[in-house]
Amino acid sequence: MINYLQYWLKITIYICSGGKKYFTWIGFLLLLISAGVFAYYQQFKYGLLLTNMTDEVSWGVYIANFTFLVGVAAAAVLLVVPTYVYGREDVKEVVIFGELMAVSAIIMCMLFVMVDLGHPDRFMHLIPKIGRLNFPSSILAWDIIVLNVYLFINVHVSSYLLYKKYLGEAPSSFYYKPLVFLSIGWAISIHTVTAFLYSGLGGRPYWNSAILASRFLVSAFASGPALMAIVFVIINKISHSNIKPSVIDLLRKILQFTLPLNLFLLFCEVFKEFYTNSVHTMSISYLFFGINGYGMLQPFIWTAIILSSIASLIFLSPFSKRKIVLIIASVMTVLSVWIEKGMGLIIPGFIPTPLGDLVEYTPSIIESVVSMGIWALGTLLFTLMIKAAIGIETGAISKIKK
C-alpha cells in the first residue's frame, strides 16, 4: 500500500517538473479548461437555451464530438492487435500510449455527454440498481455499459503494466492478457454500438442505413492512427523515449488502406441517395448543395472531402515517409474525419425534421468554448499520463534507485 502511494507521489512530482515549453503547454490547456468551466457554469445556470440546439436540431456539437471521440478510443485496437496477436516487439513499446489515448478519449466522451444532458444532476438514474437502466432495448444504455467497461479495461491494463514496470517486476499474464484480448473485440463493439444509436432510428432516413456501422469503424481507423502518428512524432521529438520508425510506418500503412476506404464508403452512401432521388435525399442535398441558398454545412463537407482525398493521395505516395508530410496529412485526416463524422453526419440527420421543418444549426459561443474546454481537459490528461508513462518506461520513475 505504501509502495502504491509512493508510486503516485513520484508520478505527481515527475509530472510537476519539466521545461519551459512543457509548462507553457500545460498553462495554455489550463486556460482553455477554465474558460470551458466558466462557460459550462453559464449553461448550467441558464439552461441549454444558451446553445443553438432547438427542438428541430436537438443534438449538436457535443454529440458530434462524442461520436468522433468514441472512434478515436476504438482505434487503440490497431496497436493492441499487432502487439498481442502478431507479436510485434516494436509496437509493444507504444501500445500503452494507445491505451492511454483511449482512456482520455473515453473520459472526453463521457464529459461531452454530461454537458449535453438537460438534467445532469439526474445522471444517477442511469446506474442500473440505483436508477433504471433500460438495458436491452435502449442502445444508449448499451453504449453507457460498453464505454464504462472499455474505460475500466484500458485503465486497468495500462496502470497494471506501468506499475509493474515501476516496480521492476515482470507483469503476470493472468492479470492483463485476458482483458487485452477482450478489449480487441470490445473496441470494435463500442464503435458499433455508437453507430447503432443512429442507424436504428426509422424516423431519420439519413441515418437509417446499414452501412453506418462500417463507415464509423473505418473512419475511426482512419482518424485514430492519424492522431496517434501525430502524437508519436511529437513524443519522439520532445522526450527521450524512442519510438521506432517501424511503428509510424505501420500506422502509415493502416492509413493507406482505411482512408481511401472511408472515401469509398462515403461515395456509396452518396450514390445511393442521389441515384434513388427519393424525397429523403433532402438531408444529403442540404449537406452538399444547400437548400434555397441556405447552406451552412456546405463549406465544411466539401473541405472534408478535399482534405480527405489529398491526404489519401499523400499516404498512398512515397512522400508520406517524410515526417513533416506525414504530420500534415495526418492533421488533414483528423480534420476531415471530424467534419464528416461530426457535423456532416449528426446535423443533416435533423434537416429536414420528420415533419419537413428546416432549421439550421451552428454551434453557439458557449458550446464552442465548452467543447474546447473538454478537448483541452482530455489533452491535459493525455499529456500528463504520457509524461508519466514515458517516465516509467524510460526508468526515470522507478522504485529501484539507480
Partner 1 sequence: MLRFIVLFISTCIFTICSDPTLNISTKIKAESLKQKSTIEIMPRILFLTEYPCMECHHEIEKKDKILLPLKQPHNLMKFDHMDNIKNCFLCHDRFNYDQLRLIDGSTLSYNNSQNLCFQCHGEKKKDWEMGIHGQQIGKWNGKKFRDTCVECHNPHEPTFPQMKADPPPPFPKLGINKHGMH
Partner 2 sequence: MNYNKNKNIQKTMNLILDKTTTRRQTLKGFAALSIGMTSIIVGNSPIVKSGFMDNFFNKHYKEMTNDYKKKLFKKLIKNTYTEYGVNISISDPQPIKGVRFAYCLNLSKCNGSRRCVTACVKENNQSRNPAIQYIKVLEMNMGSINLEAGDMYYEGKSVPNKNKFYLPVQCHHCYNAPCVTVCPVEATWVQEDGICVIDYEWCIGCRYCMAACPYGARRFNFKRPSIPRSKINPNQGFLSNIIRSAGVVEKCHFCLHRTRNGEYPACLEACPTGARKFGNLNDPDSEVSYIISKKRVFVLKEELNTIPSFFYYFD
- Dihedral (CA of 290, 214, 342, 110) sign: positive
CB of 328 to partner 2, least distance (A): 36
| Segment interacting with partner 2 (CB under 8 A) among 56-64, 76-84, 159-167, 232-240 | 56-64
C-alpha cell at 253: 500503412
Do residues 70 and 109 touch, judged by C-beta distance below 8 A? yes
- 309 φ, ψ (degrees, to nearest 5): -65, -45
Amino acid at 224: G
Q: How far apart are CA 74 and CA 87, in angstroms?
A: 20
365 lines the binding site for partner 1 (CB under 8 A)? no
Task: Select from 255, 220, 256 the least CA-distant residue to 338.
Answer: 220
What, of partner 2, partner 1, none, does residue 9 touch, CB below 5 to 8 Å by kind?
partner 2
Burial of 276 (0-12, 13-18, 19+ CB in 10 A): exposed
DSSP 118: S
289 lines the binding site for partner 1 (CB under 8 A)? no
374 lines the binding site for partner 2 (CB under 8 A)? no
Q: What residues numbered 4-33 form the site for partner 2, per CB under 8 A?
A: 9, 12-13, 16
222 lines the binding site for partner 2 (CB under 8 A)? no
In the complex with partner 2, which residue's Cβ is closer, 118 or 185?
118
> Quick check: helix, strand or coil at residue 201?
coil
Cell match 449537406: residue?
287
In the complex with partner 2, which residue's Cβ is closer, 170 or 279?
279
Sorted by sequence, the CB contacts under 8 Å of residue 137 that are 6+ apart come out as none
> Which residue in the set 19, 87, 203, 318 belongs to the binding site for partner 2 (CB under 8 A)?
203
What, of partner 1, partner 2, none, does residue 21 touch, CB below 5 to 8 Å by kind?
none
> Which residue in the set 294, 299, 317, 395 belongs to the binding site for partner 1 (CB under 8 A)?
294
Instruction: Kindly write out the interface string for residues 98-137 of this chain, putting x where it contacts partner 2 by CB under 8 A and - elsewhere.
Output: ---------------x--xxxxxxxxxxx----xxxx--x
Neighbours of 140 (CB within 10 A): 15
- As a whole number of Å, the end-to-end CA separation of the chain is 22
CB of 122 to partner 2, least distance (A): 5
> Quick check: helix, strand or coil at residue 294?
strand
CA distances from 401 to 142, 165, 195, 396 (A): 46, 14, 49, 10
In the complex with partner 1, which residue's Cβ is closer, 56 or 90?
56
Instruction: Kindly write out the interface string for residues 341-360 of this chain, putting x where it contacts partner 2 by CB under 8 A and - elsewhere.
Output: --------xx-xxxxxx---
Neighbours of 285 (CB within 10 A): 17
309 lines the binding site for partner 1 (CB under 8 A)? no
291 lines the binding site for partner 1 (CB under 8 A)? yes
Q: Where are the alpha helices (DSSP H) in 16-129?
A: 20-46, 61-74, 77-80, 89-92, 95-116
Size of the site for partner 1 (CB under 8 A): 13
- 291 φ, ψ (degrees, to nearest 5): -130, 130
360 lines the binding site for partner 1 (CB under 8 A)? yes
Q: What residues numbered 35-74 form the site for partner 1, per CB under 8 A?
A: 52, 54, 56
Do residues 67 and 342 touch, judged by C-beta distance below 8 A? yes
> Which residue in the set 30, 56, 171, 181 belongs to the binding site for partner 2 (CB under 8 A)?
56
In the complex with partner 1, which residue's Cβ is closer, 143 or 360?
360
> Which residue in the set 21, 55, 170, 292 belongs to the binding site for partner 2 (CB under 8 A)?
55
Rounded to 10°, the helix 212-238/365-394 angle is 60
Interacting residues with partner 2 (CB under 8 A): 9, 12-13, 16, 41, 44-49, 51, 53-56, 58-59, 113, 116-126, 131-134, 137-141, 144, 197, 200-204, 279, 282, 349-350, 352-357
Interacting residues with partner 1 (CB under 8 A): 52, 54, 56, 291-292, 294, 351, 357-362
